[in-house]
Amino acid sequence: MKKFISNKWFSRIVVILIIIVVGAAKLIYIIITDHETSSNVSLPEYSNLFTKEAQSKLQILATVKSNQREPESDYVYDKKYDLFVYRLILSENLSVKKLINIQNGTSSLSYDEVYSELPSYNFVMNKKSGSTPKVKTVNLTYTGNPYKIIAQTDSLASYYFEFNEFSIKYNEGPNDIVAKADKSNIPAAILFIKKGKFLYVILMTVNNSKANLSANQLYEMVNK
C-alpha cells in the first residue's frame, strides 16, 4: 500500500516538474525570439476604423509591435472608456458572422502558456505571449447576463455583454486573452471587422464606475 502511494506521489511530482520545465523553456524561447517595441503613436489603419467624430475623442496610450503578433493598441475614448484594438490574420475568406462563437462559461489562464498583464483597465486582463494562428474561428467565453447582438454581417459583427470574467481564443487553441474582475456585470462591447485578409478586433470597456456604456455605442463609433 505504501509503495502504491509512493509511486502515485512520484508520478505527480514528475508531471509537475515536466510542466515547470516546459513552461520555463517556452518563456526563454519567447524572451529570445519575441522582441517587442512600444510607442505612443496610433496606427492609421487602426484609427481609421473609427469615424472622424470618434477619432477626435481618441487618445492613444500605446501601440505594441512584436515579431510574433500583429500590432496591438490601447486607447482612451472620451476620457471615460478604454479601447483595445488588434488584428488577426484569417486563414481564408470567411464570413464574420459565421466565425464568431460566443458562450457562457468560466475562463482561466492556460497552464502551459506565458501571459503578460495589459495596463489601463479597471479589471485584470492578461494576454498570451507568442504567436497567434491564422484564424478559422474566434471563441468568446464569458460569465454574465445574456449577450446582445448589435449587428452581424459577412464583414462585421458587434456584440454587447456584461461580465465577471471572459476569455478569447482562436480555433481550438489556448486562451489568448483572459480577463477577470472583482465584481460582476462589467459592461463591455466587442466588434469584429473584416478587411481583406485581416480581422480587426475592438474591445471597449469603461474605465470608471460612473461611466455608462450603451449597447450600440461602439457600433456607432466605427466606419461600416
- pLDDT the model gives residue 2: 47
143 or 5: which leads in pLDDT: 143
- Rg of the chain taking only CA atoms, in angstroms: 19
Mean pLDDT confidence for 193-207: 96
* Cα first-last separation, the chain: 68
Lowest mean pLDDT, pick from 50-54, 65-69, 73-77: 65-69
pLDDT digits (tens, 9 = 90+) for 81-139: 999 999 999 999 999 999 999 999 999 998 889 999 987 677 999 999 989 999 999 99
Pairing label, strands 36-39, 72-77: unpaired
DSSP structure string for the chain:
-HHHHHHHHHHHHHHHHHHHHHHHHHHHHHHHH--EEEES---HHHHTTB-HHHHTTEEEEEEEEESSS--EEEEEETTTEEEEEEEEEBSS---HHHHEEEEE------TTS-EEEESS-SSEEEEE-S--PPBS-EEEEEESSPPEEEEE-SSEEEEEEEESEEEEEETTS-EEEEEE-SSS-EEEEEEEEEETTEEEEEEEEESSTT----TTHHHHHB--
Residue 12 has pLDDT above 70, yes or no: no
Residue 10 has pLDDT above 90, yes or no: no
Q: What are phi and psi of 14, to 5 degrees?
A: -60, -45
pLDDT interval class at 9 (50, 70, 90): low
- pLDDT the model gives residue 209: 75
pLDDT interval class at 211 (50, 70, 90): confident
Residue type, 204: M
pTM summary value? 0.85
How far, in Å, CA of 203 to CA of 192, rounded?
Answer: 9
50 burial type by CB count under 10 A (0-12 exposed, 13-18 middle, 19+ buried): buried
- pLDDT the model gives residue 36: 81
In 3D, which of 146, 149, 148, 186 has the Cα closest to residue 165?
186
How far, in Å, CA of 86 to CA of 192, rounded?
Answer: 10
Residue 199 is placed in which grid cell? 480581422
How far, in Å, CA of 147 to CA of 105, rounded?
Answer: 13
